[in-house]
Chains A and B, each alone.
Chain A
């Protein structure tokens, strides 16, 4: 049977991908940020996951505002990255696992989570930057992937409470798959940032640290917030926290924190990193 072995919360800021492309990871500005990923990579090489479920939001590569699903899941044999318009190099394709995707679609649907299913899906920086951060040296991706997109672009967005429940349901669906897989779940984006408006540049370090603390053992405390409150507390892009809540929900109640880091600012963002191992 498939087992969820752990979850990782990570930023997905394009500037990270650009810094890697420009070989700036050892620069003083970037080094503390990238160094925090070293223990995560060690853990990955020890645990050797076979499948990564990546929770992210598309920023206008695969989805436009003509059709904007609240939740969408990839069910493709592979996923291509593509030009987003501002110069991030395009990465090689990611192998999928369509049979596993369809199992999740059926299980989630049976539990009243109806997803938009995508047999073709371009994946943008929200997906590829975390993958690159976790496996920077890989000649070929060591995991098959299942992308799950969450709408954080056009309000109304799915509520934090619903996302936590979605994650819990996803975790059960993953562990009901009859193949022998080791699964990790990535919750990407966040933490506080605001790109738009006169309030641009808003970062709330105390709230970010509070989120990193609470999500480990009391995610339901964070899930009580409304999206509107998250905008006030964490900026217009701060609601990306819901993607971390899905990741956290998928791990079940008992987790061990193996790594936590907070770095501010990365680009315009308070950047969080969390590695949680699911308790056996």
Chain B
């Protein structure tokens, strides 16, 4: 197959590089804390206070409040850490994929299945 591709970053894609890692540090650090059940419980008791404790900026706090994954990525979130936040609400990668692509979860699953044909 032809594997020659443009060096451009493809559409709908963010490279998690040093710029993103700096921008998103506080948000990702908060999400990293969710490896521990006690921290997940503290977040659920008062989400905004927990965001403040980790020093999230306004855009990051708004993105967390509205559960807007694309906005979290825009403000430096890395998907592996954001997955821990999503997990608090019982959401998996297909739920997160559906939200980012503007599809229902069933539509998103159908899109994945179509990739196998």
Contact = CB atoms under 8 A, between A and B. Distances in A.
Interface of A: 15, 59-61, 64-66, 82-87, 153-156, 194-201, 203-207, 210, 225-226, 228-229, 231-233, 236, 263-265, 267-268, 270
Interface of B is mostly: helix
B42 to A, nearest CB: 13
Interface of B: 1, 3, 5-18, 21, 25, 28-29, 31-32, 34-37, 40, 69-70, 73, 78-84, 86-88, 92-94, 96-97, 100-101, 108, 111-113, 115-116
B3 A210 contact: yes
B70 to A, nearest CB: 7
A85 B111 contact: no
A154 B113 CA distance: 29
Contacts of A64: 28-29, 32
B97 A200 contact: yes
Nearest to A84: B35
Contact of A264 (B7, B16, B115): B115
A225 B9 contact: no
Given A60-B32, A82-B35, A196-B79, A268 B73 contact: no
List the 4 closest pairs (A to B, CB-CB), nearest first. Answer: A86-B87, A198-B12, A199-B12, A85-B84
A31 to B, nearest CB: 15
Contacts of A268: 93-94, 97, 112
A64 B35 CA distance: 11
19 contacts: A15-B92, A65-B29, A65-B32, A66-B29, A85-B34, A86-B83, A86-B92, A153-B16, A155-B16, A196-B13, A196-B73, A196-B100, A197-B12, A198-B100, A199-B10, A203-B112, A205-B116, A228-B15, A232-B5
Contacts, number: 145
Given A60-B80, A229-B3, A201 B11 contact: no
A196 B76 CA distance: 12
A57 to B, nearest CB: 9
Given A195-B96, A197-B100, A201-B97, A85 B35 contact: yes
Contacts of A59: 80, 83
B101 A153 contact: no
Given A201-B111, A232-B8, 12 more contacts: A59-B80, A83-B36, A153-B16, A155-B15, A201-B101, A203-B112, A233-B5, A236-B15, A264-B116, A265-B112, A267-B94, A268-B94
Given A156-B17, A267-B93, A60 B3 contact: no
A65 B28 contact: yes
Contacts of A15: 92-93
Contacts of B13: 194, 196-197, 199, 231, 236
A268 B109 CA distance: 8
A194 B86 CA distance: 16
A86 B85 CA distance: 8
Nearest to A82: B35
A210 B2 CA distance: 10
B98 to A, nearest CB: 8
